[in-house]
Structure 1
Amino acid sequence: MVQGKGTQVGTADTATVRIGALAPLSRPGWVEAGRHLLAGLELAAREVNGRGGILGKPIELIVRDTAADPAKATAAVDELAQLGVAALVGEYHSVVARAVAARADALGLPFLCSSAVLDALAEQATDWVARLPPAQSYGWRVYADFLLGAGHRRVAVAIQSSVYWAAGVRILRERLAAAGGSLVELDMSTLAPDAVGDALAGHGASALLLLVGYPEPAASIVRAVRSDSRLTPLLIGAPAGQPEFAEWASLLGQDGRAIPFLRYLPEQLSELGVRIEKALREQLAEAPSFVALEGYDTIMVLADVLQYRAEGLTCAQAWARVAVEGTRGKIRFSRVPGIHVWQWAWAPVQVVDRDPEQSERYRILHTG
């Protein structure tokens, strides 16, 4: 393990506490998710600075766009380390966050992952990395339970090649099989969106899940399925959360409603959550997603961690001491079997969809 290059708060001769913020802010990254994540990070940084910063020093966010590119993200980590950041935060895409975690571990630089769920965020145990969102194996099992509870035993997935999508299929397949269900894969590397209907016709599936890129081919698949009279009763689902953001509604209109997805929110926000949701709504000029709240919680947690580090605690000791009232519940980290990073076990999980009668309203269909 290389000795950490990050600035140690309270000992470095710097006027600010520099934090490297990573987010997908250009295509092919999920730009809207990156924008919401950054909004939450920025709001929390302003609030921490308003109460005196960290040990009297204001937070300075140094933002880098990952564009959903692991190589670009790794280069950004090296650059941020040279700039003397005390820690790294952010990222939405799991394959990118995994690359960031590997480089942060090699450099001995704390990384608090805001919004990536892949179980294998790190290939081996590390004390330099912690994560706020629930692991994919937890959240996607909740989604599988929703499907089973709604009577869906035969499920199809439209899938593209990705470590993240492959992991999701394994989770869904195992959960469905344990209840006597089955899963069939439609390979979207060889299948055009308008051919999905023909591919589904002989399978007898009652649900089709979108494990594909956004906005395309996800939007085209939805349009093709909605316009195919043979598939009228078919449920379309999107466990990765594509319908969460306003762009989905603007792209698909009525076709984009009633598509269940995972959202990491409690049934009711706390007083803090309500206040932050309102502030983020004003900042974004639209309803904030759970990703924006994840961004806010990230900085609030990290402020405590960096203060503990300044007091001489190791990174592991600092993660273990965290007890922060976040926007979605009390945040504490622990070691979870099979997860090689410090993990909040677990953030609340919902399966929701956009109301068929009003796209701005969400219906809670299932909770984990």
Structure 2
Amino acid sequence: MNTRQALATLALGLSLLSTAQAQTFAKTGTVKIGAITALTGRFAEFGRQQMAGFQVAVDEINAKGGVNGQKLELQVEDNASDVNKGLAAAERLVNADVGVVICEYSSSLVKAQAQYLARQKVPALVVTSSGDDITKPGSEYVFRLNQPASEYAQVLFNIFRDNKFKTVAMFTGTGAFEKSVADAARRFAKEYNITLVEDQSYDKGLTDFRPVLNRIKAKNPDAVFMVSYAEDSVALMRQAREVGVKPKLFVGGAAGFALPTFISDGGSAANNVVSATAWVKELNYPGIAKLNTDLVKALKGTEPSYHAAQAYAGVLVAADAVARAGSSDREKVKAALKATDLKTAFGPVIFKDYDGFKNQNPILMVAEQVQGGKFVPIYPKTDASKPVKLER
């Protein structure tokens, strides 16, 4: 067993099978689904969350009798947080004859994977990646159960609108996800008559954000809007506090800002920061309390992020499609995915074509704020446990 396989087996306890092995299992009553995530590299924390969701879902399905009476196996491949290695992982799953591939976190990686899988006529189920251009215009073989990036921007700009903010400074990374969120933010700023007093982006690898933060400080905006991955979110907030940026509200467009490690690593710098998020345990979905408990157990006592809940739902949706298709025939699975109408503890899943999106699940986004050292939902008010806390 190679290193990649060992990591996945240790993390999830699921078999990583060669094509020959898969054929053997097919004869003995096992249904196999493919999945790609980051077991190593810069996105490994998101991969850890997803692996927990995968584990909980597979255990739950098999405890209820599997897929049409057959045991479910998840063949997990590591993308090593790299585009080319992600494509190699997708190729391995295509060659393994899986009926559907669950695609993972980073928009830049997933877009390439989804395009490749569509060319191979293999259904791709996106569970966490949010770049708008993955399903807009999309492909008949690509389905996404999580929210597109524009939803991350809208929920945060709704908070700005409701609190009558007039000025926002925007500072975002240049990756595919960050760019999608930033593009949507510009649209909502214009729609809500909010002035972007600063609109800056930065390339991966930058560690000193102070020059831009000092410029933002001088403009004294009502809010600072950031979109960054895990390694940048804490540094951004620490440096913003250090140079004395004092908006009414700091907000992050999910990603690193929505991880439990943002609070543990950020300490006092994380206080009162608002983040868009795709899921919180306080939502009113059937089974959500049990899912949260199971995810905490799978994560060995740490709190799950929404990425774990999305991965959990992805396995349920993929297994449901294979069950209704009656086999792993890819065309039948694609048709079954198109007809999905499933209630999960992550939320409802139904794939629609709307507003230029294709096979997109129209699920609402929520926002949470760090209050008292933990995330609490603050928007929309129907799902909020506490009101938003402004800093001035």
TM-score by length of 2: 0.83
> What is residue 220 of structure 1 aligned with on the other side?
235
1:142–1:367 CA contact under 8 A, matched in 2: no
> What is residue 139 of structure 2 aligned with on the other side?
126
- Structure 2 Cα separation of the partners of residues 292 and 155 of structure 1: 31
Establish whether residue 137 from structure 1 lines up as the match of residue 154 from structure 2.
no
1:148–1:176 CA contact under 8 A, matched in 2: no
- Of 84, 91, 107, the match for 2:97: 84
Q: Deviations for 1:66-114, whole angstroms, at most 9, x for unmatched residues?
A: 2332211111010111122221114011111111111110111111111
Q: Deviations for 1:316-358, whole angstroms, at most 9, x for unmatched residues?
A: 4312322222003332222223113x12112x31111110xx2
1:354–1:362 CA contact under 8 A, matched in 2: yes
Unaligned runs of 5+ in 2: 1-18, 383-392
- Structure 1 Cα separation of the partners of residues 161 and 137 of structure 2: 33
Matches within 5 A, 1:1-368: 13=27, 15-29=29-43, 31-122=44-135, 124-183=137-196, 184-189=198-203, 192-216=208-232, 218-229=233-244, 231-265=245-279, 267-284=282-299, 285-310=301-326, 314-340=332-358, 342-346=359-363, 348-355=364-371, 358-366=372-380
Change (3 A) 1:100 1:328: same
1:45–1:59 CA contact under 8 A, matched in 2: yes
Question: 1:272 is matched by which residue type in structure 2?
Answer: G
Q: Deviations for 1:143-165, whole angstroms, at most 9, x for unmatched residues?
A: 21112222322211222322322
Change (3 A) 1:153 1:227: same
1:263–1:349 CA contact under 8 A, matched in 2: yes
- Structure 2 Cα separation of the partners of residues 160 and 295 of structure 1: 24
Higher deviation after alignment, 121-130 or 35-44: 121-130
Give 3-state SS (helix, strand or coil) of 1:196's partner.
helix
Question: 1:79 is matched by which residue type in structure 2?
Answer: R
- Structure 2 Cα separation of the partners of residues 67 and 156 of structure 1: 33
Give 3-state SS (helix, strand or coil) of 2:287's partner.
helix
Shift of 1:232: 2.9
Give 3-state SS (helix, strand or coil) of 1:215's partner.
helix
2:228–2:252 CA contact under 8 A, matched in 1: no
Unaligned runs of 5+ in 1: none
1:350–1:367 CA contact under 8 A, matched in 2: no
- Structure 2 Cα separation of the partners of residues 102 and 136 of structure 1: 18
Higher deviation after alignment, 275-284 or 159-168: 159-168
Q: Deviations for 1:276-328, whole angstroms, at most 9, x for unmatched residues?
A: 11111112111222211111111111111112222687344312322222003
Shift of 1:12: 5.9
1:101–1:122 CA contact under 8 A, matched in 2: no
1:20–1:63 CA contact under 8 A, matched in 2: yes
2:149–2:181 CA contact under 8 A, matched in 1: yes
Change (3 A) 1:361 1:181: closer
Aligned residues: 355
Give 3-state SS (helix, strand or coil) of 1:314's partner.
helix
Shift of 1:203: 2.9
1:196–1:221 CA contact under 8 A, matched in 2: no
- Structure 2 Cα separation of the partners of residues 264 and 169 of structure 1: 17
Shift of 1:234: 4.8
Shift of 1:181: 1.3
TM-score by length of 1: 0.88
Give 3-state SS (helix, strand or coil) of 2:131's partner.
coil
Question: 2:350 is matched by which residue type in structure 1?
Answer: R
- Structure 2 Cα separation of the partners of residues 12 and 273 of structure 1: 33
- Structure 2 Cα separation of the partners of residues 206 and 124 of structure 1: 35
Shift of 1:244: 2.2
Change (3 A) 1:320 1:288: same
Question: 1:317 is matched by which residue type in structure 2?
Answer: A
1:196–1:225 CA contact under 8 A, matched in 2: no
1:262–1:351 CA contact under 8 A, matched in 2: yes
